[in-house]
Amino acid sequence: MSVTRLLVLGAVRIFQPAHGYLIRQELISWHADEWAHLNPGSVYNALRSLTRGGLLSEVPVPPAEPVGPAARAAYRITPAGEEEFLRLLRQCLVSVRPYQPEWLQAGIAFAWALPRHEMLDALVTHRHQLEARLAWVRWAEQDICNHPLKPALVVEQFRLHEAHLTGELAWLEAVSARIEAGEYGFDGEDPARIMPTPGRADRRTTNQT
């Protein structure tokens, strides 16, 4: 649920005021339905839950929006929602969750919302945790091999895990170098380097009738 909350808060933050159909279509265009197991119902449930919790505020749909009858309300992020968005974002970036890759994917999606130096600090923390996890997995591989009561093939689960961690570590070092070299845009820098300003004409409403 935390990843869904981050995705919905972040999408509203970009397109606000934004109605539920727009948020759903935008997140699907990111393939979040695949890597975050996001479904349409969870988007609308999150919008309602975040509104009840004071993290979003419900506002009328702007008159110029070409939306259908299903879009009865639009949403804006509140100050409390902004605080929660940043908390979840930082958590996703620093946490190592090898069996929940959607956390890091969601963190990358909104990393531009942090200052460059904070993003680099988060990646350093992530790397330290990743290296600790990798050391444990390598120890576990040896332990399994020396365990006479374990099926021999079990070690391949740990080797697969090691390969995933090693790949993530290589990516982490490469992306850190790119960010340090000035690639991409981050909070406090030229907004044009972060993303194009979303226009009303392309707010993913053309398929709604």
In a domain, 199, yes or no: no
pLDDT for res 63: 65
If asked whether residues 84 and 37 sit together in one domain, one would say yes
If asked whether residues 171 and 81 sit together in one domain, one would say no
| The token pair that represents 12 in the structure block | 């509203």
For the segment 9-24, what is each residue's pLDDT rounded down to a tens digit?
A: 999 999 988 888 889 9
- Asked if 8 and 50 count as a contact pair (C-beta separation under 8 A), the reply is yes
- Better-scored residue on pLDDT, 89 or 204: 89
If asked whether residues 138 and 171 sit together in one domain, one would say yes
Number of domains into which the chain is organized: 2
In a domain, 195, yes or no: no
If asked whether residues 19 and 43 sit together in one domain, one would say yes
**pLDDT band at 40, cuts 50/70/90?**
confident
If asked whether residues 93 and 22 sit together in one domain, one would say yes
In a domain, 53, yes or no: yes
Ranking 41-55, 89-103, 161-175, 193-207 by mean pLDDT, the lowest is 193-207
For the segment 135-193, what is each residue's pLDDT rounded down to a tens digit?
A: 998 998 888 777 777 777 888 888 888 999 999 999 999 999 999 999 999 998 888 88
The number of C-alpha atoms within 13 Å of 5 and in the hemisphere containing its C-beta is 21
* Cα-based distances in Å from 122 to 47, 127, 198: 28, 9, 28
Number of other CB atoms surrounding residue 150 within 10 Å: 12
CATH number at residue 96: 1.10.10.10
In a domain, 185, yes or no: no
pLDDT for res 151: 78
If asked whether residues 151 and 85 sit together in one domain, one would say no
If asked whether residues 172 and 126 sit together in one domain, one would say yes
In a domain, 68, yes or no: yes
Mean pLDDT of the chain: 86
In a domain, 73, yes or no: yes
Which residue segment(s) compose the domain that 53 sits in? 2-108
In a domain, 207, yes or no: no
If asked whether residues 42 and 9 sit together in one domain, one would say yes
